[in-house]
Amino acid sequence: MKLACTFLLLGALVSVGAAAQTPANGTAAKAPSACPSVLAHKFARLQDEAPQDLCQYAGKVVLVVNTASYCGFTGQYEGLEALYAKEKAKGLVVLGFPSNDFGQQEPGNAKQIADFCFNTYGVKFPMFSKSVVRGKDKNPLYAQLAQATGKEPQWNFHKYLIDRSGKVVASYPSEVEPQGPVLVAAIEKLLSAR
């Protein structure tokens, strides 16, 4: 009798364990993608300084942009947000990194920058705390991006494109518009690749 109860108990535990690993729709849970080295960094979120692991974007097409609130290219926030809103369901994420490296065009603190981005352009894509994006003190993500492409940002709103596997595939100068044909075509190509 004890042996039969033990087998019943073990069977129930195995059944519960299997149920816990299978989503309600009955499909097997997808294993998380390994984090590529270019995304293996943590940065403080702009709005509240909460640490964010960029590994959460593994498996997505990532567009990294250094931003500034008082630049001739600041209007690109609108295009970046529109691009993000249109393509995020397909796997695109835009990551914004405010920087005061160019012409002192991002002098504000985190709250001022966050309020400006949201209130002026409705920015909802992930934004991170102000950091250095060029020179010897650049943040580690930008160090990797520059090394992979051979190009550091020359001004605000420089863009780097990373494919789903974590490979840095392109670098675009500030003049390339977020919704311009060159960038949109490159993003769509990467989004359609599985």
pTM: 0.83
| Helix 181-192 and helix 76-87, axial crossing angle in degrees, nearest 10 | 20
Residues 38-51: pLDDT tens digits?
999 999 999 999 99
Higher pLDDT, 30 or 130: 130
Half-sphere exposure of 192 (CA within 13 A, CB side): 6
- Please indicate, yes or no, if residue 138 is contained in any of the structural domains: yes
Average pLDDT, the chain: 88
- How many folded domains does the chain comprise? 1
- Please indicate, yes or no, if residue 17 is contained in any of the structural domains: no
Six-digit token string for 37: 């080295």
- Please indicate, yes or no, if residue 100 is contained in any of the structural domains: yes
- Which residues span the domain enclosing 151? 32-192
- Please indicate, yes or no, if residue 11 is contained in any of the structural domains: no
Catalytic (active site) residue 71? yes
Catalytic site residue from 5, 55, 71, 117: 71
Residues 112-166: pLDDT tens digits?
999 999 999 999 999 999 999 999 999 999 999 999 999 999 999 999 999 999 9
- The CATH number of residue 158's host domain is 3.40.30.10
